[in-house]
Chain A
Amino acid sequence: MIIQQIANGLMLGSLYALIALGYALVLGILGIFNMAHAEIFMSGAVIGWLIISKWHLSLPFAIPIVLMSGAALGLMTEFFCVRRSVRAGSYFVPVATTIGFGLILTTVVANWAGTNPLPISVSFQYTQVRFGDASFPLANIIVLLTSFIVLGALAYYLRGTPFGLATRAVGENPEVSQLLGLNTTRIVQLTFAISSMIGTLSGFLFGIMAGAAHPYMGEVAGLKGLCLVVIGGMGSMTGAVIAAFIGGVAEVMTSVYWEVKYADGVLWFIMFLILLFRPLGLLGKAEELQRLQ
């Protein structure tokens, strides 16, 4: 029983890790909070509903469309909300503009698709996989595997490709990388596109796992990524992933052994405790915190 709950928690945690990485990427490169990420997450689930339940296309078609729309949303966020406002020099200005962009996304979706839950049904919705005496929904296992693939690909991208090197250089020092001939605007665009692709993909996976999308799901589920980045330590992607797994297990444990209604507050309470005793987060470094605008 408890093994099964821990495994469920890890599956939820792998999804949270994806959401948190979307925040962490932009935070690591630009030092700003992309608050529209919660709504980009929501858009991923709604686009999944559109493709699967409305257009009746199969999963292999859905994934590229979800990823492409994520890239488009990321480029729009960068163009409308970040490019001008990042020069203002205050962490608040990009936060406000991205919140504004998120409001626009939510309103458009809520007015167009309605505020009722939008069902996403896939063929393996009720398939259970048995391991010994524990059984898991196949959807959750697919989510877990996809998350690990994305985490691996992201690690390879950042550590093993020239683009990743350029991205890390811009994150370290934008002025010097511009002097060395890097096109920082392109790098920022690329980062936003990748972060939002991860965002929509995580929303889509969440939609498959929960079986439904909702225009207001971003505010509760999407904002948890922000909380996990803070728990993990600013600028540390490893920290964000570890925090996501801890958070997923904590949330499942709360809803099983205590009350389901407290589950949404657990992550924020953990953040409260972590910042109380370890102001830098689990793996945060003081110099990373200084770069935060």
Chain B
Amino acid sequence: MIDSFLTPLFLDLLGINILLGVSWYIPASCGQFSFGHCGLIGVAAYLSGAMTTLLGVPFPLAILAGMGISSLAGMLFSAIGLKSKDAYAAIMTLALAQIAVVAFKAIPATGGVMGFLVTPKVTPGIVWAGVLISLLFTYRLESSRLGRTFEAIKTSNKVSATLGINATYFKIIAFGIGGAMAGLAGVLYAHCISWIEPHTFAVWLTVTSFTFVLLGGWETMWGGVAGAILLTFLLEVMRFASAWRPMIYGVLIIAVLAFRPTGLVTRGNVRSAGRFFSRINRFMLRNR
């Protein structure tokens, strides 16, 4: 039983799912939601896949290019949407996703509808290094000045505006950071699965990433991490029901928002976990 969980592919996908959850959480931490995360992921996956496979660019350079293009696309589309209203920014990212899928289908160099083979395969080590760096970054971000500004915008648009915070500017920054992380997830995904096709980056991918955050909790970054781990294991156990997977997600979304709108891991949980660890730490120090 445990052997089937420890395959390299499963470990890779677990790491990528954690990245997806955290990358969706960053705009959400600023009160801004993204419907088109699949587009950000897909653009990065296609760019890095095409760079390494067709042009022979070294892999680290392709990672940076993928993160860069996703970040820029996220900032551009959200900036246009934010000219009118924050809900429009979410719809603009959906537009990005739809245009991206049409473009992927139309480009002959990357195999059109069929998709293409992406060559250098990543090892779980690279994936988890990316995951840990992103988690560390997000952890530092949450307690930084920028993270607290995001928190203020999420708590109240009006109050933060009276404090002189330009919500539009910070939401675009949040999309830039979240986009870069989604791009990292996309690059790693492309080089882990080795075969990407336009259909992979349909709206379903967005739904997966926000289900992680909704289930896990959207008050702190640990919610996205917990949701990703929980759902990845749950779906691996329930592999026999793979045709009903979208329905499981749908029922989970509705049930969680109806009965526990904060998600499973709340800020209070994170705080008490922190207290628990500090108590252990103190105990260990005393008995040294």
What residues of chain A have their CB less than 8 Å away from a CB belonging to chain B? 33, 80-81, 84-85, 88, 90-93, 95-97, 99-104, 106-108, 110-111, 219, 223, 226-227, 230, 234, 259, 261-262, 264-265, 268-269, 271-272, 275-276, 279-281, 289, 292-293
Contact = CB atoms under 8 A, between A and B. Distances in A.
A43 B56 CA distance: 46
Given A81-B254, A97-B258, A269-B99, 18 more contacts: A33-B87, A88-B261, A91-B33, A95-B35, A96-B253, A100-B254, A107-B244, A108-B247, A219-B202, A219-B203, A261-B102, A264-B102, A265-B98, A268-B99, A272-B92, A275-B92, A276-B80, A279-B83
Contact of B247 (A103, A269, A293): A103
B267 interface: no
Interface in B63-111: 77, 80-81, 83-88, 90-92, 94-95, 98-99, 101-103, 105-106
A192 B35 CA distance: 23
Nearest to A35: B35
B257 A272 contact: no
Contacts of A91: 33, 86-87, 90
B163 interface: no
Nearest to B87: A91
Nearest to A280: B84
A176 to B, nearest CB: 22
A69 B80 CA distance: 38
Given A93-B261, A99-B207, A264 B80 contact: no
B207 A103 contact: yes
Closest 4 CB pairs of A and B: A265-B102, A103-B250, A100-B253, A107-B247
A92 B210 CA distance: 11
Nearest to A38: B203
Interface in B167-216: 202-203, 207, 210, 214
Contact of B254 (A97, A234, A276): A97
By secondary structure, the B interface counts as helix
Given A219-B202, A230-B91, A264-B98, A275 B247 contact: no
Contacts of B253: 96-97, 99-100, 103
Contacts of B251: 100, 104
A95 B33 contact: yes
Contacts of A280: 84
B243 interface: yes
Contacts of B81: 275
A63 B250 CA distance: 29
Nearest to A261: B106
Contacts, number: 120
B85 A96 contact: no
A226 B90 CA distance: 12
B125 interface: no
Contacts of A281: 84
Contacts of A226: 91, 94
A99 B250 CA distance: 7
Contact of B214 (A96, A259, A279): A96
A115 to B, nearest CB: 9
30 contacts: A33-B87, A33-B91, A85-B258, A88-B261, A91-B33, A93-B261, A96-B214, A96-B253, A96-B257, A97-B254, A99-B250, A100-B249, A100-B250, A101-B254, A102-B250, A107-B245, A107-B247, A111-B244, A227-B98, A234-B85, A259-B106, A262-B102, A262-B106, A268-B94, A271-B92, A275-B88, A275-B92, A281-B84, A292-B87, A293-B87
